[in-house]
């Protein structure tokens, strides 16, 4: 065993220059992951598959990637499985060999500390990112190749990228988001339902609710209201039926989504709210709504550019901690799957398969918003079809239910007969009928309402133009 000696000035400098890292934390992290697959689910929201470089040792990075791949493929995980997978990929020696795998496992007192180890490793990795970023800024300044204003802008961008990586992107409870928003304000479920009720009676009648394990697509052209409809259904499940649900938004911030919930439930003009033109009476009304929504089990995650692997890991954690019963994703084409990034069609297919597998694994419906291509625009009547789903036929193939959202008023703004009306076309339902669901779109509150179907069990259907929400 080496003895400690007084460091010379030169060795002190070398020690200072050694990039920050924690060998013990990295070993504890990998040892935990190799002992229990649940540890990997706890680690992935902290260190994603694409962030393996936060581990300092190259061999540790390789082993981390293999463990995550095994986890994502649903394989059992133990030292034997990990060893065989490393041998199959010719990476065993690069990862330290069999003896090192055993050493990793023996270095861990309990795998339940995996998330704590991951946070240490992430923090060290962020420090290395900051050092690298500072070096790049310093080198650019010494070079004097650009004006100071340009260099400052580049420096801010580099630092912002490091700062963004620090954000863990965890889901926030609606109560916390409502508190933030309110502080800134200035003066029929039927027995025939076997799944989760959506709050839209004809849709529930045709689908019997969103079924556990189903992969459901809500598709439409931009500005049709896909996000609004998805959020309305999530609200109805969480608020009216008290079912815990998760809403992953890759397009809008969680504050914006919470504002929509607040304005929709408070019946406050969303545009007026954004402009800060809320009266004292309306503020008081919103205060009552905030109190009513404080305990609503709606969890909103707005991590941008999320991979399907990261989303699946977060959903698993929310299922364990909060017993979520539905997952909403807005929207599919904004996600990515790094392993297929060279081919967009294959990438979308991989994302679609991953989301469908998540629903089956957790036995909950996965509701995903998706874009339609431009074929709709040139078609007479502008009615969307399943073949309009953008970038991959795999979406149509994987989906158990495909809902196409259409608002004719988008194309005929001066026609009073179509104002505020929307059609939700059930274009595919693996285990039920297809039909059109008429809805009313209230632009003022960014909400969809029942237009014509009266609640009740399956049977003779009646319609009325002014049916209540």
Catalytic residue numbers read 251
Q: Please, is 13 exposed, middle or buried when counting C-beta atoms within 10 Å of its C-beta (0-12, 13-18, 19+)?
A: exposed
Q: How far is CA 256 from CA 60, 177, 270, 273, 296, in A?
A: 39, 10, 10, 11, 17
Question: Over the Cα atoms of the chain, what is R_g?
Answer: 26
H or E element, residue 65: helix 58-72
Query: b/e for 300-335, b at 16 or more Cβ within 10 A?
Result: bbbbeebbbbbbbbbbbbbbeeeebbbbbbbbbbbb
- What is the rounded CA–CA span in Å between residue 257 and residue 249? 9
Residues with Cβ within 8 Å of 162's Cβ and at least 6 positions away in sequence, in order, are: 126, 129, 130, 133
At 305, give phi and psi (nearest 5°).
Answer: 60, 35
- What is the rounded CA–CA span in Å between residue 360 and residue 307? 19
At 442, give phi and psi (nearest 5°).
Answer: -95, 95
- What is the rounded CA–CA span in Å between residue 86 and residue 469? 57
* 247, HSE (Cβ side, Cα atoms, 13 Å): 30
Q: Please, is 130 exposed, middle or buried when counting C-beta atoms within 10 Å of its C-beta (0-12, 13-18, 19+)?
A: middle
**Beta strand ranges found along 71-187 (DSSP E):** 172-173
Provide the token pair at 301: 């995650």
Helix, strand, coil shares, percent, the chain, to 5:
50, 15, 35
**Beta strand ranges found along 206-338 (DSSP E):** 215-220, 245-249, 298-301, 326-330
Q: Please, is 60 exposed, middle or buried when counting C-beta atoms within 10 Å of its C-beta (0-12, 13-18, 19+)?
A: buried
């Amino acid at each position: 065993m080496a003895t400690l000696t007084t460091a010379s000035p030169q060795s002190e400098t070398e020690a200072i220059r050694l990039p920050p890292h924690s060998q013990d934390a990295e070993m504890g992290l990998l040892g935990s992951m190799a002992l229990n697959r649940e540890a990997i689910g706890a680690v992935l929201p902290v260190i994603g598959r694409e962030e393996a470089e936060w581990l300092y040792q190259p061999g540790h990075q390789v082993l981390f990637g293999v463990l995550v791949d095994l986890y994502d493929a649903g394989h059992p995980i133990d030292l034997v499985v990990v060893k065989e997978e490393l041998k199959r990929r010719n990476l065993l020696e690069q990862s330290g060999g069999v003896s090192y795998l055993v050493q990793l496992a023996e270095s861990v007192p309990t795998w339940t500390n995996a998330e704590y180890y991951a946070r240490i490793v992430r923090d060290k990795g962020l420090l290395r990112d900051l050092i690298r970023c500072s070096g790049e800024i310093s080198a650019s300044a010494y070079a004097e190749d650009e004006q100071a204003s340009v260099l400052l802008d580049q420096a801010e961008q580099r630092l912002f990228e490091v700062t963004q990586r620090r954000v863990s992107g965890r889901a926030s409870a609606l109560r916390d988001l409502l508190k933030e928003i309110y502080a800134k304000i200035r003066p029929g479920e039927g027995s025939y339902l076997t799944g989760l009720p959506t709050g839209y009676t004809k849709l529930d009648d045709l689908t019997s609710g969103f079924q556990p394990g189903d992969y459901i697509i809500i598709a439409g052209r931009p500005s049709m209201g896909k996000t609004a409809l998805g959020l309305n259904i999530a609200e109805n499940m969480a608020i009216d039926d008290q079912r815990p649900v998760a809403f992953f938004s890759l397009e809008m911030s969680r504050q914006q989504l919470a504002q929509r919930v607040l304005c929709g439930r408070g019946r406050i003009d969303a545009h007026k709210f954004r402009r800060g033109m809320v009266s004292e009476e309306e503020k008081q009304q919103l205060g009552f709504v905030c109190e009513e929504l404080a305990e609503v089990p709606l969890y909103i995650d707005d991590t941008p550019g999320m991979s399907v692997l990261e989303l699946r890991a977060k959903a698993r954690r929310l299922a364990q901690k909060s017993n979520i019963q539905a997952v909403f994703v807005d929207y599919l084409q904004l996600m990515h799957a790094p392993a297929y990034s060279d081919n967009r069609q294959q990438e979308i297919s991989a994302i679609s398969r991953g989301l469908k597998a998540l629903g089956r694994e957790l036995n909950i419906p996965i509701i995903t918003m998706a874009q339609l291509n431009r074929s709709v625009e040139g078609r007479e009547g502008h009615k969307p079809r399943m073949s309009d789903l953008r970038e991959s036929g795999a979406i149509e193939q994987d989906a158990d239910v495909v809902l196409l959202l259409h608002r004719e008023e988008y194309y005929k703004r001066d026609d009073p007969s179509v104002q505020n009306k929307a059609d939700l076309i059930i274009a595919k339902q693996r285990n039920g009928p297809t039909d059109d669901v008429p809805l009313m779109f209230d632009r003022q509150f960014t909400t969809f309402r029942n237009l014509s179907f009266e609640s009740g069990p399956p049977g003779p259907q009646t319609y009325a133009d002014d049916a209540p929400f």
